[in-house]
Amino acid sequence: MKEIDNFYAEKVEPLKGCLMALRQIILDRDRNFSEAWKYRMPFFCYKGKMFCYLWVEKKTGIPYLGIVEGKKIAHPGLIQDERSRMKIMRFDPSEDLPLKMILEILDSAILLYTSGIVKIK
């Protein structure tokens, strides 16, 4: 089993289901997404450029979606905290995912890449 698959497999429900659903939402959003294992976490690249990642906060066990260029997106669903570049969106794994908001954020981030604001190699 690959490390990336093991990341999901070792989680317990409802966390596992939440992360697997987020993974599928991201991969299904645009054919230019690919999945990679970077920094010991699942990363998603857009045309080869780092785009977002999934992680679980160590202290709280709360999963989140991290947007690499999040500082360039003004959306109430994203939180900067003390990060300089990235913003995150936290999820309660026992509740339904806010699909509309996730897609809005992904689309806003994709626009950064397709418009040239974020340079793609």
- What's the whole-model pTM score? 0.93
Name the fold adopted by 3-114: Aspartate Aminotransferase, domain 1 (3.90.1150)
Task: Give me the residue label for tokens 């003390």.
Answer: 82
The domain limits of the chain are 3-114
**What integer pLDDT is reported at residue 1 of this predicted model?**
60
SS3 breakdown of the chain: % helix, strand, coil, rounded to 5?
35, 25, 40
d(CA 58, CA 71): 23
Distance, CA of 9 to CA of 75 (rounded, Å):
31
* 54, burial (CB in 10 Å: exposed 0-12, middle 13-18, buried 19+): buried
pLDDT digits 0-9 by tens, 48-79: 999 999 999 999 999 999 999 999 999 999 99
Chain segment 72-116, per-residue pLDDT in tens: 999 999 999 888 889 999 999 999 999 999 999 999 999 999 999
